[in-house]
Amino acid sequence: MMDIRQLLDQAFTGVLTDICETDTPGIVKQAQKAEFGHYQANGVLGAARKVGTNPRDLAARVVNQIGMEDIFSTDIAGPGFINIRLQPGFIQSELCRRWRNFGIDPVQPQKYVVDYSAVNLAKEMHIGHLRSTTIGDAIVRILEFLGHEVVRANHVGDWGSQFGRLLAYMNLRSNSGESISTELSDLEKFYQQASTMFRNDEAFAADARNYVVRLQSGDETCLALWRQFISISIEHCQAVYDKFDISLTKADIRAESAYNDDLPLVVNELTEIGLLEDSDGAKCVFLDEFTGKDGKPLPAIVQKSDGGYPYMATDIAAVRYRTGKLAADKVLYVVGRDQQLHFQQLFAVAKAAGYIQDRHEFRHLPFGMVLKPDGSRFKTRDGGDVKLSDVLDEAVERALVLVSGKNPDLQEATRRKIARVVANGAVKYAELSRNRVTDYTFDWDTMLAFEGNTAPYLQYAYTRICSIFRRAGVSGESLQATSADEFHLLEKQEIRLAVKLLQFNEAIASVLDDYQANVLCNYLYELSSLFMAFYEHCPIIDSEDSIKTSRLLLSRLTAQTLKQGLNLLGIETVEKM
Ligand code: ARG
């Protein structure tokens, strides 16, 4: 399906550029009353200033030259804005095209790497991981839907100093004859015990430090122990992904340790081009744009004085791999705001090294923290991290109470199935429907509400449409198979709904402007609200045949759009709830 805003924008930009003989964007956007198919072109003012002409005169020339009367009508407003109104006939024929082909126009495919979730394997996934995981998963689904090639990159942390502590502790526990796998069933506790011993027992701490060196230099016994730990930890993550309908699989993991062999190569390459400087024995890159609080140059450390490689080094190697071997065009990092400086330095160093070139786009997509409704950080009572798995279980239990209240007659197993869909949807949507950059308040009551801009509201709207079909004695599929495109848009509620349906592609494309999923959430919310208004004002089943068919088709398109849109956010729908 075509993206109407893009079509208009191209047309107006073309004509403006033609007339002014310089590059002048038309900047067409939706007008306030966009639901009636109103857009506005407001590039005329800037263009007029550039070429030194009267904006209203210029607008008149644009309108004269643009033609396309079968698609829209125009009028000039204010100092030289052009109002654009889609023609009813165009809305109608586009709707028919949409009915026949519920797809999208192909884009120029690009290769994306999306780095998300990326937990440190020492611990279990906690509530802080919700953000990167949910946002990243929505972005990859949308990119793939648009036809791009996407590599999911789960850059898990499996190589830092914390693994020395864990291995030393593992070794201790297995020597005491207990079954290590039972011990490891609670990774969180295991990690805490290892950390406590590290702080309080000097001999243990020395042992732990020794383990890091042995691990990183490839000691086989040590590696065997490490592999055992990593594999249990990865199982834990995968169980959470599966429970939460996250599209990541084990094959998407390329861990920090995978870059180990590349690290010396990176150091060599950076040395060759004279980028590395020695600073107290450490190998560092100093770039002018980075200075510390004291005004002194801020180093990016690539190799520590003891020979070890820090987080930065692995990330440089990962950039090199992504533009090199993977031949990515665009690389997105869905990582918390607190790592902003790290990514600024990383991209600058990688550019200086030639690993990132002008044709590549590297973006850090930051997000804020997860807060409790009272504004405090989300922690357990003793200050620990809240396990994500527990949060998801609680969501299902809460959703089950709601679903059971609405459908006391359904079987328990069916209610549980629905509750899972509602719970995952609610948790994901609450996250995705906000601007990702700000902190995010985790609040059960708001996210599980059946009213307002929530997943349950959208999922419920979907079930409403399914129930219309049931009452009309048709199925969505049978409509699709038997009905020709018969649209008669009589009421304003129908026109509004129709225009919104045609704006689906526009909404998805705008998500990519700044990788903000809330653009799509808002679209789906508006779509549902417009559907509800249509449903209240326009009788469907009791209307005469041609009107009834038209309205059933509108309903079917709405259901398809809702389902598709929610799926792109990683959210499922059910037919009854
Ligand atoms: N494991 C890191 C952390 O938990 C996040 C990794 C993000 N990805 C990256 N390429 N640095 O902080």
Token pair belonging to 470: 């049931």
| pLDDT tens track for 239-259 | 999 999 999 999 999 999 999
Buried b (16+ CB within 10 A) or exposed e, 146-182: bebebbbbbbbbbbbbbbbbbbbbbbebeeeeeebee
How many Cβ atoms sit within 10 Å of the Cβ of residue 307? 12
User: Looking at residue 22, what DSSP letter applies?
Assistant: S
Query: Where would I find the beta strands (DSSP E) of 60-187?
Result: 72-77, 81-86, 111-115, 149-153
- Average pLDDT of the chain is 93
Which atom of ligand 1 is least distant from the CA of 346?
11
Q: Give 144's contacts (C-beta < 8 A, 6+ positions apart).
A: 150
From the CA atom positions of the chain, what is the Rg in Å? 28
Q: Do the Cβ atoms of 517 and 143 come closer than 8 Å?
A: no
Check if 17 has its Cβ closer than 6 Å to any atom of ligand 1.
no
Q: Across-strand partners of 332? A: 114, 363
| pLDDT tens track for 5-16 | 999 999 999 999
In the reported structure, the alpha carbon of residue 16 is separated from the centroid of ligand 1 by a whole-number distance in angstroms of 46
User: What is the spatial distance between Cα 164 and Cα 214, in angstroms, rounded to a whole number?
Assistant: 9
| 459 Rama class: left (phi>0) / alpha (psi -120 to 50) / beta | alpha
How many Cβ atoms sit within 10 Å of the Cβ of residue 391? 21
User: What is the spatial distance between Cα 418 and Cα 574, in angstroms, rounded to a whole number?
Assistant: 7
Token pair belonging to 17: 């550029």
Q: Do the Cβ atoms of 154 and 136 come closer than 8 Å?
A: no
Q: Give 118's contacts (C-beta < 8 A, 6+ positions apart).
A: 132, 153, 154, 155, 156, 157, 335
Check if 131 has its Cβ closer than 6 Å to any atom of ligand 1.
no
Token pair belonging to 430: 């609450």
Check if 158 has its Cβ closer than 6 Å to any atom of ligand 1.
no
Check if 476 has its Cβ closer than 6 Å to any atom of ligand 1.
no
Phi/psi at 56 (5° precision): -65, -35
Q: Could you tell which of 339, 355, 362, 364 is best to mutate to test the pocket of ligand 1, judged by most ligand atoms within 8 Å of the CB?
A: 339
| Pairing verdict, β 297-303 and 72-77 | unpaired
In the reported structure, the alpha carbon of residue 210 is separated from the centroid of ligand 1 by a whole-number distance in angstroms of 25
Per-residue pLDDT of the chain (577 residues), as tens digits, is 678 999 999 999 999 999 998 888 888 998 877 778 899 998 899 999 988 999 999 999 999 999 999 999 999 999 999 999 999 999 999 999 999 888 887 789 999 999 999 999 988 999 999 999 999 999 999 999 999 999 999 999 998 888 999 999 998 888 887 777 777 888 888 888 999 999 999 999 999 999 988 988 889 999 998 999 999 999 999 999 999 999 999 999 999 999 999 999 999 999 999 999 999 999 999 999 999 888 889 999 999 998 889 999 999 999 999 999 999 999 999 999 999 999 999 999 999 999 999 999 999 999 999 999 998 888 877 778 889 999 999 999 999 999 999 999 999 999 999 999 999 999 999 999 999 999 999 999 999 999 999 999 999 999 999 999 999 999 888 888 777 778 999 999 999 999 999 999 999 989 999 999 999 999 999 999 999 999 999 999 999 989 999 999 999 999 999 999 999 999 999 999 8
Q: What's the order of all strands across the beta sheet hosting 297-303?
A: 277-279, 282-291, 297-303
User: What is the spatial distance between Cα 113 and Cα 522, in angstroms, rounded to a whole number?
Assistant: 26
DSSP three-state, residue 242: helix
DSSP three-state, residue 148: coil
User: What is the spatial distance between Cα 559 and Cα 562, in angstroms, rounded to a whole number?
Assistant: 5
Nearest alpha-carbon partner for 98 in 489, 503, 493: 503
Residue 363 one-letter amino acid: R
Which atom of ligand 1 is least distant from the CA of 336?
12
